[in-house]
Structure 1
Amino acid sequence: MLCIPVIDLFAGPGGLSEGFTACYAGKRFHIVLSVEKDFAAHKTLELRSFFRQFPRGEAPDLYYRYLRGELAERSELFDAFPDQAAQAHSSAWHATLGQVPLKEVVRRVETALANARHWVLLGGPPCQAYSVAGRARMKDMASYRLDDRHVLYREYLKIVATFQPTVFVMENVKGILSSRYQDERIFSRILEDLGAPWDSLSPSDAASLPRPRVLHGYRIFSFSTPATWECQLRPDDFIIKSERYGLPQKRHRVILLGIRDDYNVISPVLEESWGKPLSVRAMLDGLPRLRSRLSHGDTDGVGWADTIREEVHSKLGEYTDACLASDVIAVLDTLPVTLGGGGRVVPGGTPPQALTSWLWDDRIGGAVQHESRAHMPSDLHRYLYASCFAARYGRSPKVHEFPKPLWPNHRNAVANERGYVSNFADRFRVQVWDEASTTITAHLAKDGHYFIHPDPGQCRSLTVREAARLQTFPDNYFFEGNRGDQYKQVGNAVPPFLAYQLAGIVSEVFEQCLDQEVERSPTANIVYTSA
């Protein structure tokens, strides 16, 4: 099959790449290089690159044995398929951009592209880069101190300027729209730099990089707002609200689409979904139920239930909502003492109600990386109360709506004159069954207080697999590293199902670009690289 090469910088665990590996109009995007500095995320990229080299549904049984933890080492899997392993090693590069020598970056990109005429650059430079973006345009290069945050954005810009992809996609947090540096809006400078990338390089960078024969600029489009010739897009027009596009998550991110200016293309936009967004229930209902664990003295389900009952009854007198007190007591009487806390693989489960073909893989034989955390009894009480509150009122409670003994144990957790605790209003937040989830973030690596499971009986925070489901990672996507590493990767990623839709837009752009090439030169031989 003919392919368009893709390079993914600051790739994380590969959410953008996962979406771009789908097929459109007879062409397929092929990930030729992913660059990531985090070791665990890099190992995840390697493993997924290995998996993608097999046709859909034809990954070896040994891969699933590795997912289930039945192999002693990952090397057993890779040694059994040396060609695929070699390709995975070469396409996933563990490197910190800005620290690795520039010549090595250029060499890697040149090798990966293999003289491809058309290609795509993906990436999301970490958000702190934008606090100092644009300094490279300053004429007096000695007037500022070069730091790591500055380098991050410059590294993406260098690749755009030097290798001039036909299309680039850049993603970041919504906060870049309001960020300023020296009274200048950073986002305006970003658009200006990306519009004329070579001219935006510092003199030293321009001298160190191979200069293209023809210097191209870029027109920057939004994936969510149609472009017009009459007026420019506003900064907010670049925000994508994921819940509007078939995702079960209220994740709002800025995503730019750059198209090289030698093509006269007007980009289409994403098509919004009809009706209510996908819900937490549609994604999680069907995963095996788990109980939480106790941070101290966890033994079995009976001891777990007794601990929760003792904790709740000691504070039940502080409840001011009689209905909620009744709801909590009803759950205490039915705590599922036979449930386990999960593990690397939990047998059972049924397909999700939504995105079934995208997520479900019955060859797994259960749910992988589905393991509950250990919590203090006081936090389990908060989780139980919050999930009962959401079940009754359809929303997560604010801190001032908890019984006073359940407020955060912090000197600043005090009520104002209206009785509200503004500093910790959302310190404990339950995901509501019939709504889209809140934004899945890397904070999950620290604790689960913002991601409480909606089932009161399970009395816990989300597992890695549940967070991955809400991020629309397929169930056979395995995250390497310890559990904290896994949570961090899931929270930092672009949702693959959103990336899949972005790839559809990019594919339509390529159709227009290639049609224009044929119009200019009907005998031109358009060459792709092959996978």
Structure 2
Amino acid sequence: MQNKSSEGTYNFIDLFAGAGGLSEGFMQVGFSPIAHVEMNPYAAKTLETRTGYFYLKEQGKLNIYYDYLKGNISREKFLEYIPERLLQSVICETMSDESLPELFERIDKSMKEQGISHVDVIIGGPPCQAYSLVGRAQSSHMKVPMNEDPRNDLYKLYARFLKKYQPEMFVFENVMGIESANGGETWKKIKAQLKRVGYEIEPQERNARTFGVLQNRRRMIIVGWKKGTNYSYPEFQDKTSDAIVEDLLNDLPKLVPGAGKDVSEYRSGEYSDYLKTMKLRSDDDVLTLHKARPNKDRDIEIYKRAIEAWDDGKGSRLNYNSLPEELKTHKNRHSFVDRFKVVEGKDHYCHTMLAHISKDGHYFIHPDIKQHRSITVREAARIQSFPDNYFFEGPRTAQFVQIGNAVPPLMAKGIAEGILSVLKQGE
């Protein structure tokens, strides 16, 4: 039996929240957050900022938020406008056996203050490197073998939250490799643990592009519901788009490597129907984080060759071994030979956004040869379906990590709509 919050909406707790992509989708559908738990301080600051955005929007005072983005007021001044109880809902803490008692205490206090006696949904997904197929491919270079990675056991902490708060449903998002990690043993343990605390579960492979995201991003969406209820796995509405990736990029100022500003003007007042329909840009938005990282002359030359190959009419990828010797710097000539990759501007979706973009932009080269650069933070955020009014805190490297690791908000919104439908049917 659900116990909605005092505002009459369903509530949720977000674990391993990251920059809030999954939470964003649930909030857009109308779910109310009880708490976000995230260990990374930059991501936690981003969550605080987004919490401020939603509060000021509700109060009709978004001008304060935009003043902050423009640098007209300090972060300290901006946060003064946000109720302390909302800021305290963002808990920057590493989840562990030792930290859980305090986390429970803080969340219990928040629930009491909000008049909430029951949690409706728990969402989140433990960091996925320990389960990922790419991670396993690189495991021979790691200090800790993949099967000994402590992140393999983070699901146990998730299960303890389920056991304590007994939500009606939960969403456990993760990578495709979760079912085969450690020869399938990890998945067996996860299933057993989640069932042991009182839930029926079902995993289904989902692709972000079926939720309207212009990105080919396959993920495992595990949904659980209380045993003995009439809930089931949601039916997600197909929102595959006819837009192309350039529809995400063409209204933004053209940049060369090293150019751009933290706050800037749009190239045009006109923007694509896709951006309008998906509400990724509005007439009131302030353009932030559209600043290109500098690139070495050697990399710029490689970028141009990669774009030329992609534009040859066949969509050919540059093979690293085909480069002239003077442009090659990597000793490894056998694996990752597609390490220079162009964003598929004319296609309906881009290849999967990765946190590795924080290290270099070689895997995400802008499709315009005249710009011959890697994509900006704002362009990466759009590919992940974050709206332009979403601001990422921290240095550029931290911003890219947050974006690359996130659940695309449009995908999260579709998942939230499915969960909401199931909950309403169960009333």
Shift of 1:401: 7.3
| Counterpart for residue 13 of structure 2 | 7
| Counterpart for residue 201 of structure 2 | 220
Distance 1:99 1:288, change over 3 A: farther
Shift of 1:57: 9.1
Contact 1:51 1:59 in 2 (8 A): no
| Counterpart for residue 43 of structure 1 | 45
Distance 1:94 1:252, change over 3 A: same
Q: Give the aligned residue type for 1:399.
A: N
Percent of paired sites with the same residue: 35
| Counterpart for residue 374 of structure 2 | 461
Question: Aligned Cα RMSD in Å?
Answer: 2.3
Distance in 1, matches of 2:412 and 2:61, equals 23
| Counterpart for residue 224 of structure 2 | 258
Distance in 1, matches of 2:325 and 2:169, equals 55
Paired residues for 1:48-197 under 5 Å = 48-55=50-57, 58-71=60-73, 73-79=74-80, 81=81, 84-98=82-96, 100-114=98-112, 115-128=116-129, 148-180=150-182, 184-197=184-197
Q: Give the aligned residue type for 2:238.
A: E
Residue 19 (structure 1) aligned with residue 25 (structure 2): yes
Shift of 1:100: 4.9
Matched residue SS, 2:397: helix
Q: Could you list the per-position Cα deviations for residues 264-295 of structure 1 after superposition, in whole angstroms to 9, with x for gaps in the alignment?
A: 1233321224575x4211211111111113xx
| Counterpart for residue 4 of structure 2 | none
Q: Give the aligned residue type for 1:249.
A: Q
Distance in 2, matches of 1:398 and 1:447, equals 17
Paired residues for 1:201-220 under 5 Å = 217-220=198-201
Distance 1:51 1:29, change over 3 A: same
Q: Give the aligned residue type for 1:459.
A: H
Residue 488 (structure 1) aligned with residue 427 (structure 2): no
Matched residue SS, 1:438: coil
Distance in 2, matches of 1:125 and 1:254, equals 12
Q: Give the aligned residue type for 1:97.
A: M
Contact 1:352 1:360 in 2 (8 A): no
Distance 1:129 1:99, change over 3 A: farther
Distance in 2, matches of 1:492 and 1:19, equals 15
Q: Give the aligned residue type for 1:290.
A: L
Distance 1:456 1:479, change over 3 A: same
TM-score, normalized by length of structure 1?
A: 0.71
Higher Rg of the two aligned structures: 1
| Counterpart for residue 140 of structure 2 | none
Q: Could you list the per-position Cα deviations for residues 74-94 of structure 1 after superposition, in whole angstroms to 9, with x for gaps in the alignment?
A: 012122x1xx24133211011
Q: Could you list the per-position Cα deviations for residues 144-193 of structure 1 after superposition, in whole angstroms to 9, with x for gaps in the alignment?
A: x997425522211110122111110011111212211xx55322321222
Paired residues for 1:417-496 under 5 Å = 422-435=334-347, 436-496=349-409
Paired residues for 1:353-372 under 5 Å = 353-357=273-277, 358-365=279-286, 367-372=287-292
| Counterpart for residue 281 of structure 1 | 246
Distance 1:348 1:149, change over 3 A: closer
Matched residue SS, 1:375: coil
Distance in 2, matches of 1:344 and 1:275, equals 30
Shift of 1:348: 2.2
Q: Give the aligned residue type for 1:46.
A: E
Matched residue SS, 2:426: helix
| Counterpart for residue 390 of structure 1 | 310
Shift of 1:396: 4.8
Contact 2:131 2:177 in 1 (8 A): no
Q: Give the aligned residue type for 1:266.
A: S
Shift of 1:411: 2.5
Distance in 2, matches of 1:118 and 1:57, equals 25
| Counterpart for residue 260 of structure 2 | 342
Q: Give the aligned residue type for 1:247.
A: V
Contact 1:64 1:363 in 2 (8 A): no
Matched residue SS, 1:75: helix
| Counterpart for residue 205 of structure 1 | none
Shift of 1:412: 2.7
Structure 2 residues without counterparts, runs of 5 or longer: 1-6, 133-146
Contact 1:384 1:459 in 2 (8 A): yes
Q: Could you list the per-position Cα deviations for residues 429-458 of structure 1 after superposition, in whole angstroms to 9, with x for gaps in the alignment?
A: 001112211111110110000000000000
Residue 412 (structure 1) aligned with residue 332 (structure 2): yes
Contact 1:343 1:370 in 2 (8 A): yes
Q: Could you list the per-position Cα deviations for residues 376-413 of structure 1 after superposition, in whole angstroms to 9, with x for gaps in the alignment?
A: 10100111111122222352513157443476412332
| Counterpart for residue 235 of structure 1 | none
Distance 1:372 1:477, change over 3 A: same
**Aligned counterpart in structure 1 of residue 33 of structure 2, from 31, 52, 70:** 31
Distance in 2, matches of 1:408 and 1:495, equals 34
Matched residue SS, 1:354: helix
**Aligned counterpart in structure 1 of residue 255 of structure 2, from 290, 293, 307:** 290
Contact 2:320 2:339 in 1 (8 A): no
Distance in 1, matches of 2:314 and 2:251, equals 21
Matched residue SS, 2:9: strand
Matched residue SS, 1:489: helix
Q: Give the aligned residue type for 2:366.
A: H
**Aligned counterpart in structure 2 of residue 399 of structure 1, from 302, 319, 324:** 319
Distance in 1, matches of 2:241 and 2:281, equals 23
Shift of 1:423: 1.3
Contact 1:283 1:353 in 2 (8 A): no
Matched residue SS, 1:13: coil
